[in-house]
Chain A
Amino acid sequence: MDVFATNFRTLDWVIVCVYICIPVVIGIIVKKYIRQLSDFILAGRSLKLFIAIATLTGTELGLVTVMYNAELGFKHGLSAFHVGIIETFCILAIGLTGFIVYKLRQLRIMTIPEFYEMRFGRNVRIVGGIILALGGILNMGLFLQAGARFMMGVTGYSNPAGLKLFMSAMLIMVLVYTVLGGMVSVVLNDFMQFVVLSIGMLIGSMFAISKVGWANLFKAPPMVDSASWFNPISEGSGFGSLYVIFMVILTFSAGALWQSGTLRALSAKTPKVAKQLYAWSSVSYLARRVIPMLWGVCAFIFISQSPKLLAAFQGPDALNSQFGMPIFIAKVLPSGFLGLMAAGMFAAFMSTHDSYLLSWSSVITQDIVAPLKKDNLSDKSRLLITRICIVAIGIFLLIWGLWFEAPVSLWNYMAVTGTIYLAGAFTVVTAGLYWKKASKTGAKIALYAGLLAILGIGPWTTGENVPFYLSDKFIGVMTFLIAFLGMILGSLIFPDKTKPKEVKR
């Protein structure tokens, strides 16, 4: 069986081309609703529960999400499911308690660093804004690469130039409609993505399961260790107990404070809706993990049954493991449905991209440029700067995606780059909201500590016999720990001279 053989036909190309024009049209139509910055960034804080669930899921269930989770399933088997379970419980806990998100929505802020200023002053906001933008932009650095690999695998386009071609074309589409419509077009497109992608993923799962067989799904393939295939605590699974601890800390902090997700909570109509949004979305967080992982597992079982396919993923010239799932669905899904899935995935790619572009560019505008200008910026200037940032970030992503190859799996790369921001942000926001003694110095130390996570994407994290202290999971856990200790010690040793500001609006 040819590795890049596919059921993708002319009909599928037509479906993809028609489908991906829809977001651009929506962007143009809704431009008339954008009158002020809060309309552009937060859709006028008018999101009710169900549309908020759809848009949160649309953002968090992107093509990249599908790719990194499928890669985890492909590489680690069913043991990868533990990440989904951990994340689901974390999101549910946030939804039931309202931890962080309820209070943040009450404050009517647009970005997390805005809270830093309310509680700790302008300097902390600028530092936090820079670190947030750095971590966030690096985090989406491989989105284009992963998206292009998906399109290559599904369409069967194996030409080496394909990666560059697909990446450039995808980026242009995203930039056009994000710059035009802002959050209102993002919300409408996210809803469409949610409907098409969710139905497509559920039906696609049926195809995948029927191809490998329900019973085979719960048997480890002969060439892998049975214990590692199922048990995430087993060190042979590629995870281990330290990794599980890292996932608990990371998914809880990301659930509460990942800017693109939190932006949805801040866009909710009321603080109560923000809280409900998390509780309901715990199911979609589970699905966004488990369903792609299932596809990855099915892909591995399917590929392991064909010596030629298996050989393509082994040896020095092995294909990147991200190709496993797209190559599998290209052979399993029928033409027509495959086109719809590819279109849905591509649109999902755009919906995630637009939200992230909007998140990081609004952080640069609101939390770095505006405070540096002492807030002497009109709404019109802010909107212009936000749009310029969107394009500038897009160009950076293209360059970064073309030359950088992550030393770890796509998800681990994202986990570590996310930690750059999350370690500091989670500590600072939690302490700022719930600890009266938290001081400016403690906040700055915690934010700077997050930068340690950059060590987790260095070349020393991969290869044979990597000492545990150089592994990405150890670096990730330690970064959170140092940020936490930095906050406590910094606040106790260097308390604020004035009483902390009362944070309310």
Chain B
Amino acid sequence: MNWAMLWKVVLIFTLSGYSLLVIIVIFGGAGNIVDMLRDLRKPPDQD
């Protein structure tokens, strides 16, 4: 088994996959924060 090649693929996948995830989460997360704070302002028994 070519371990060096395997770790090379893993590293490339990690760096590129994580970059993509970070972009998605930054944009999606900002909207979620606004919703969360709005939910917390509701009376406690409303949920």
Contact = CB atoms under 8 A, between A and B. Distances in A.
A and B held together in a complex: yes
Interface of A: 33, 35-36, 39, 43-54, 57, 78-79, 81, 84-85, 184, 187-188, 191, 194-195, 198-199, 202, 205, 217-218, 230-231, 280, 283-284, 286-287, 290-291, 294
B25 A47 contact: no
Contact of A33 (B3, B13, B40, B47): B40
B32 to A, nearest CB: 4
Contacts, number: 106
Contact of A43 (B8, B19, B25, B40): B40
Q: Is the interface of A mostly helix, strand, loop or mixed?
A: helix
Given A286-B14, A291-B18, A51 B39 contact: no
Contacts of A84: 10, 14
Contact of A50 (B3, B14, B32, B47): B32
B18 A286 contact: yes
What are the 5 A-B residue pairs with the smallest beta carbon separation, nearest first?
A: A50-B28, A51-B32, A230-B3, A287-B18, A46-B39
Interface in B1-47: 1, 3-4, 7-8, 10-11, 13-15, 17-19, 21-22, 24-29, 31-33, 35-37, 39-41, 44, 47
B36 A187 contact: yes
Nearest to A78: B7
A48 B4 contact: no
A81 B18 contact: no
19 contacts: A39-B40, A44-B36, A44-B40, A46-B36, A46-B47, A47-B36, A51-B28, A81-B7, A81-B10, A84-B10, A184-B36, A195-B22, A202-B19, A230-B3, A284-B18, A284-B21, A286-B10, A287-B21, A291-B18
A290 B10 contact: yes
Nearest to A33: B40
A291 B14 CA distance: 8
A372 to B, nearest CB: 26
Given A45-B47, A287-B14, A50 B25 contact: yes
A485 B33 CA distance: 45
B2 to A, nearest CB: 9
Given A191-B29, A230-B3, A286 B17 contact: yes
A218 B31 CA distance: 41
Given A194-B29, A195-B26, A230-B3, 9 more contacts: A44-B47, A50-B28, A51-B28, A52-B32, A84-B10, A85-B10, A198-B18, A230-B4, A291-B14
Contact of B40 (A49, A53, A184): A184
A443 B22 CA distance: 40
Contacts of B39: 44, 46
Contacts of B31: 50
B37 A230 contact: no
B32 A230 contact: no
B3 A78 contact: yes
B32 A47 contact: yes
Contacts of A230: 3-4, 7
A50 B17 contact: no
Contact of A49 (B3, B28, B33, B41): B28
Select the residue from B1, B18, B35 with max chain A CB neighbours within 10 A: B18
Given A48-B35, A198-B18, A78 B25 contact: no
Contact of A48 (B17, B32, B41): B32
A79 B7 CA distance: 8
A191 B40 CA distance: 17
A199 B26 CA distance: 11
A189 to B, nearest CB: 11
Contacts of B25: 50, 53-54, 57, 194
- Scoring B14, B15, B40 by chain A CB atoms within 10 A of each residue's CB, the highest score goes to B14
A49 B3 CA distance: 35
B36 A283 contact: no
Contacts of A283: 17-18, 21
B35 to A, nearest CB: 6
B3 A53 contact: no
B8 A50 contact: no
A405 B24 CA distance: 41
A187 B35 CA distance: 13
Nearest to A291: B14
B20 to A, nearest CB: 8
A489 B37 CA distance: 48
